[in-house]
């Protein structure tokens, strides 16, 4: 953790959506592009920094899924678990960028190998928490996620994205 | 500026788009909702904090429009001025939120009156810089913007949002 030098271990940007669609596999000469889609819920863009470890994940997931960021039909602010809404997780290394002159640098971003592992664990933990909450509420919600390292071709339809920044 | 206590004066989130559409006036009983739209370019979500003044705007606008955040057709990273692309500015007070327990608080956000004035000046400066750059390049680009204080009903189509955070 000392590597981080006081900065955050992870940065997330959260946007509310009515529908979101993300490419998980680009087209190639043998097959068409593949997409995942959620309806009402929340898009989580996530980036891990150097020094981030699995230790931060339980608190991070619990915070993100329990924060009252979503507007219910009655206009009350509730969490995505309470809505209940679906979640689309988008790996977004650009969030770790720092401007140097006119260029963006990503020197503080985690390595690809560690990032891939943490991202996988983050997605699995979100799935676990959201599925448990949905089962106990008797509703159907899903967790979808982008492919780490790919271009994140995204389409977003919102009734107000209510963009939030959360760092851990 | 002392009020800010070392925090940023403004927070922006930047996303690249192929097309973005924003409601600027909700429907009422006499008229339909009104929208603005840009094609290829950049969405700037902006939030000002307490203590922000006009002094920060020239550097802020110049930085945002000149940072190499956009992918040109040849795959080179260029600024939105160089692309040249259009800009959609979205006032986004939620960006100033801070979690307290499960609730978001917005105590550090600028007052509505000051925020409205700064937002207007920010939009005007973006328009000026982008129009000058487009004229000298002989191209047509536009600056569109949301209505401060309204719900920001947004539709976004991207080839990768390349989400960035910039604070000033």
pLDDT tens digits for range A67-119: 999 999 999 999 999 998 999 999 999 999 999 999 999 999 999 999 999 99
Q: How far apart are CA B166 and CA B44, in angstroms?
A: 10
The answer, for B2 touching chain A at a CB cutoff of 8 Å, is no
Of B102, B157, B159, the CB nearest to A68: B102
Q: How far is CA A104 from CA A95, A151, B7, B64, in A?
A: 10, 17, 21, 11
Instruction: Check A161 against B104: CB less than 8 A apart.
Output: no
The answer to whether residue B131 scores a pLDDT higher than 50 is yes
pLDDT tens, position by position, A8-67? 999 999 999 999 999 999 999 999 999 999 999 999 999 999 999 999 999 999 999 999
Q: Determine whether the interchain pair B154/A156 forms a contact, defined as Cβ–Cβ distance below 8 Å.
A: yes
Q: Confidence class of residue B4 from pLDDT cuts 50, 70 and 90?
A: low
Q: Best of A18, A23, A102, A108 to disrupt the B interface by mutation (most B CBs within 10 Å)? A: A102
Domains of chain A: 10-157 (3.50.80.10)
Mean pLDDT throughout B143-165? 97
The mean pLDDT of B14-42, rounded to a whole number, is 96
How high is the mean pLDDT of chain B?
A: 94
In chain A, which residues have their Cβ closer than 8 Å to the Cβ of B155? 156-158
User: Residue A157: which of B66, B103, B155 has the nearest Cβ?
Assistant: B155
| Beta-carbon contacts of residue A36 (< 8 Å; ≥ 6 apart) | A21, A22, A24, A88, A144, A145, A146
Task: Mutation target for B interface from A154, A155, A159, A167: give the one with most B CBs within 10 A.
Answer: A154
User: Measuring CA to CA, which residue among B104, B100, B95, B62 is closest to residue B81?
Assistant: B62
Question: Tokens for B60?
Answer: 């802020």
Section B96-114 average pLDDT: 97
Q: Which of A69, A102, A161 sits opposite B79 (nearest CB)?
A: A102
How confident is residue B113, by pLDDT bands cut at 50, 70 and 90?
very high
Q: Alpha helix (H) ranges present in A13-168?
A: 57-66, 112-137
- Among the ranges given (A68-72, B61-65, B130-134), the one the predictor scored with the smallest mean pLDDT: B130-134
Task: Please give the C-alpha separations between residue A167 and each of A49, A57, A64, A145, B107, in angstroms, as whole numbers.
Answer: 11, 12, 10, 20, 18
Judge whether residue B1 has pLDDT over 60. no
Banded pLDDT at A5 (limits 50, 70, 90): low
Mean local confidence (pLDDT), B154-168: 97
Beta pairing partners, B78: B70
């Amino acid at each position: 953790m000392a590597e981080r030098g006081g900065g955050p271990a992870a940065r997330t940007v959260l946007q509310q959506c009515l529908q979101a669609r993300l490419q998980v596999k680009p087209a190639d000469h043998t097959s068409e592009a593949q997409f995942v889609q959620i309806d009402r819920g929340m898009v989580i863009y996530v980036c891990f920094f150097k020094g981030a470890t699995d230790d931060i994940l339980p608190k991070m997931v619990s915070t993100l899924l329990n924060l009252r960021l979503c507007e219910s039909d009655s206009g009350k602010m509730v969490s995505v678990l309470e809505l209940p809404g679906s979640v689309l997780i988008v790996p977004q290394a650009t969030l770790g960028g720092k401007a140097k002159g006119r260029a963006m640098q990503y020197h503080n971003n985690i390595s690809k190998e560690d990032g891939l592992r943490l991202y996988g664990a983050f997605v699995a933990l979100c799935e676990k928490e959201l599925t448990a909450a949905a089962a106990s509420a008797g509703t159907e919600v899903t967790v979808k996620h982008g492919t780490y390292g790919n271009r994140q071709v995204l389409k977003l339809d919102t009734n107000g994205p209510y963009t939030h920044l959360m760092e851990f």
